[in-house]
Amino acid sequence: MSSPPPRPTWPWLSETEVPKLLFWGTPGVLVTPALAAHYAKTFPQLRSVDIGPALHYVQEDHPHLIGSTIAAWMGEQQASVQSV
């Protein structure tokens, strides 16, 4: 897969250690599996979550999975900050 065209935020996303969370589905419309793999290699501290079959409105396809994953991820981030 060739790299997608860069976006204005990519330099920051590729350089910062700020935690990031990406949900994507198959076949995907905005974020395909190949693009999700590219982001996972390019952006540090990115957790890439395959939510399974989904198209454009992934939050409508898998609301409970997304909500529980966000809640768990935010808890991890809070615990990480408190341990510093």
pLDDT at 20 over 60: yes
**Could you state, in order of their start, the residue ranges of all structural domains in the chain?**
17-82
pLDDT at 17 over 90: yes
Both tokens of 69, joined, read 């994953």
Residue with more model confidence, 5 or 31: 31
Question: Cα(23)–Cα(70) distance, rounded to whole angstroms?
Answer: 10
pLDDT-based confidence at 3, cuts 50/70/90? low
pLDDT tens readout for residues 26-73 = 998 888 999 999 999 999 999 999 999 988 888 998 999 999 999 999
